[in-house]
Amino acid sequence: MKCHTARRYFDDYLADRIGDQEKKTILEHLQECPRCREELDADRKLMETLRQEPVPDPGENYWHRLERTVFSKTIERLPPETAAPDSGQEKAVMRIYLLPLAAAFLLLMLSLSGISPSLTTAGREPIITAAPEADRSKIPSGICLTAPAAPSIISSLVTSLPGTGGRQMAIIDHLNNMNSKQDRP
Amino acid sequence: MQNDIKDLVKRFADGDPQAFAEIVRRYKTEIYRLAFRMLGNHLDADDATQEAFVRVFERQREIREVKHFPGFLKRIAVNYCIDMIRRKQKKFISVDDMSTSSDVQAELAELTAGPDENLENTEITSEIKGALEKLPPKQRMAISLHIEGYSKAEIADIMSCPQATVRSNLHIARKKLRKWLAKLI
């Protein structure tokens, strides 16, 4: 065995991780090679020196604390949808309170921007109508919608409100009634 | 044992929190020791140990694809240690600053040795630490794992590199350490 090959096995030899045959070959080489003996001896001493520096045991309290810290860190880093077990409830609460508010705000904005019906102007048709385009065109005057998409926008906003279809229809009727009252002389 | 780990990992991948707790309990000492060997102080070893487990938890979805879980876990820990070493090398934090900041480490040293012995141990520890810290991260990683008793095949698995690279890293690291620690050997 050559020195180069023998030295490749030194780690495994020192750690006692080689087979009997390889061990025998290395020992034979070491007997006849003083440089490799020196090399192996230096490696052994170095590893003994490095290993004499023990890793201290931080103690039972530390291990418990470590476990707790790891678990709390994993909770901190969970994505938001899995972090809160009642996130479904929160979404429901948002739907109940925020969507009607948003709808009201949008209605207000539409009204301010002029595409919403002006309920005070005489001769206006009901703002929310299911009447087809052809029928609407027959309405002679006072058409309140200045933007053709307004009824559908408002209808879709109302239908997005929580509740049953009946409740949504009631809101539409209510808005229509309000508009009709305003139109009366 | 191998099947036991596979079962544990499968349960963890399925979202069983008890399985994750068991993983932490089972591997915490090994990961801490490894981190301590690489980083040389309790505070950093603690940080690396926590982070390794948290990162494993974050990769819960891909854990099913992992063939050898212990190697995967150690790779995460060791990569984090390398990042820490690189960050510290950039910041030029001294060895003394790192070691004296740990109360646990100081307590451990007091408990394990008398005053004279303490002084001598501190000097040896400081010499060894200083020498290990001078090594480039990959060589430091290879030698730290080697000190902890890992085989070249295991080190190659953890470092995700061929055994020949491990052998070369170990050879160069040992050569340097023998020179730097000549008076201790």
Query: Are residues A20 and A106 part of one domain?
Result: no
Neighbours of B45 (CB within 10 A): 28
**A·B CB contacts under 8 A:** 85
- What pLDDT does residue B101 have? 45
The verdict on residue A59 lying in a domain is: no
Percent of chain B whose predicted confidence (pLDDT) is above 70: 82
Angle of helix A34-51 relative to helix A20-32, nearest 10 degrees? 120
CA angle, B56 then B58 then B63, to 5°: 55
A51: confidence class by pLDDT, cuts 50, 70, 90: confident
* Residue A118 domain flag: yes
Using CB atoms, pick whichever of B58, B125, B170 lies closest to residue A53: B125
Does A68 fall in a domain?
no
Residues in chain B, overall count: 185
Residue B49 has pLDDT above 90, yes or no: yes
Range of the domain at A10: 3-51
Residues 6+ apart with CB under 8 A from A58: B32, B42, B46, B104, B108
Q: How many domains does chain B have?
A: 1
Whether residue B103 is contained in a domain is answered as: yes
The whole-angstrom distance between B12's CA and the closest CA on chain A is 14
Same domain for A43 and A97?
no
Whether residue B77 is predicted with pLDDT greater than 70 in this model: the reply is: yes
* Position A127 in a domain: yes
In a domain, A77, yes or no: no
**Among A6, A7, A4, A15, residue whose Cα is nearest residue A47:** A15
State whether A66 and B50 contact (CB < 8 Å). Answer: yes
Q: What residue numbers bound the domain in which B150 lies?
A: 2-180
Q: What is the pLDDT of residue B139?
A: 94
Residue-level pLDDT at B105: 55
The Cα of A180 is separated from the nearest Cα of chain B by a number of Å equal to: 59
Residue B75 lies in a domain: yes
**A94 lies in the same domain as A177:** yes
Q: What is the CATH number of the domain that holds B83?
A: 1.10.1740.10
Question: Residue B106: what pLDDT?
Answer: 55
Q: B24 and A11 in contact by Cβ < 8 A?
A: no
10 Å CB burial of residue A13 (0-12, 13-18, 19+) is buried
| B164 interfaces chain A, CB cutoff of 8 Å | no
User: B37 with B144: CB under 8 angstroms?
Assistant: yes
pTM summary value: 0.62
Provide the chain A residues 49-78 that lie in CB contact (below 8 A) with chain B.
49-53, 55-59, 62-63, 66-67, 69-71, 73-74, 77
Residue A142 pLDDT exceeds 50:
no
Please indicate, yes or no, if residue B113 is contained in any of the structural domains.
yes
B-chain residue closest to A40, CA distance:
B174
- Let me know whether A44 and A92 are in one domain: no
Better-predicted residue by pLDDT, A145 or A108? A108
B59 touches chain A (CB under 8 A): no
Mean pLDDT to the nearest integer, A16-20:
88
Is there a contact between A172 and A155 (Cβ–Cβ < 8 Å)? yes
- Quote the pLDDT of residue A128: 47
Report, as an integer, the average pLDDT of A49-68.
90
Does residue A25 sit in the same domain as residue A91?
A: no
Mark whether A93 and A171 lie in a shared domain.
yes
Q: Quick check: is A102 in a domain?
A: yes
**Residue A106 in contact with residue A116, Cβ under 8 Å?**
no
> Closest residue of A to B20, CA-based?
A71
pLDDT at A46: 93
Q: B69: pLDDT confidence band, cut at 50, 70 and 90?
A: very high
> Does B104 reside within a domain?
yes
Give the number of domains in chain A: 2
Tell me the mean pLDDT in the region A25-49: 92
CB B149 within 8 A of CB A15: yes
* Residue B185 is assigned to a structural domain of this protein: no
Is A137 touching B (CB cutoff 8 A)? no
- Note the pLDDT tens digit of each residue in B128-177: 888 998 999 999 999 999 999 999 999 999 999 999 999 999 999 999 99
